Amino acid sequence: MTNTYPQKLSPGFPRLLRLAQDFVNTRSIRRRRVRSDPNAGPVGIARSVFVSVLVAVLCLIPSVSKASSKEVLKAQSYAGSILTPLEFSSALVLWTKESNWNTKARNGSHYGICQGRSKYLKDKGYKIQIRWCIDYARNRYGSITKALEFWKVNRWH
């Protein structure tokens, strides 16, 4: 699934950056003190380069526009109330991967919680979207669990 993301960093990113910098600094200091280790130089440099590249990649990855936690909990509670536990656990995996339970999620011509290809879902609330998603999965695959099995094999549904 390819999403259109806003260009902003995740809220926890500064802490992650600080941790990565501390790791690099700590490992560099330790390696300098242990000169008897023949792998200290190249291994230390390789580790520093790896961490630097990792931090750079994380800087370039935009964060996902997420629905508020209250909205997600409402949608998940509603889905849990109308699905069996097995269906709900399948929906939880599938819809988390599709949209992270965001009713405003959009991927090209796909909208909503289950990324349905229907403009009908574009401005609808979580209850209507969830009912639509359940009906779609049952009509096309027989159940949400079978839709998840199909998704695991094909990475789309």
User: In sequence order, what DSSP letters do the residues of 106-125 get, joined into one string?
Assistant: EETTEETTTTBS-GGGTT--
Q: How far is CA 1 from CA 4, 10, 42, 47, 107, in A?
A: 10, 20, 38, 32, 8
Query: How much is the pLDDT for 72?
Result: 93
Residue ranges of the chain with pLDDT lower than 70? 1-66, 157
Name residues whose C-beta falls within 8 Å of residue 55's C-beta, 6 or more positions apart in sequence.
16, 17, 20, 21
Query: How much is the pLDDT for 64?
Result: 44
Query: How much is the pLDDT for 155?
Result: 82
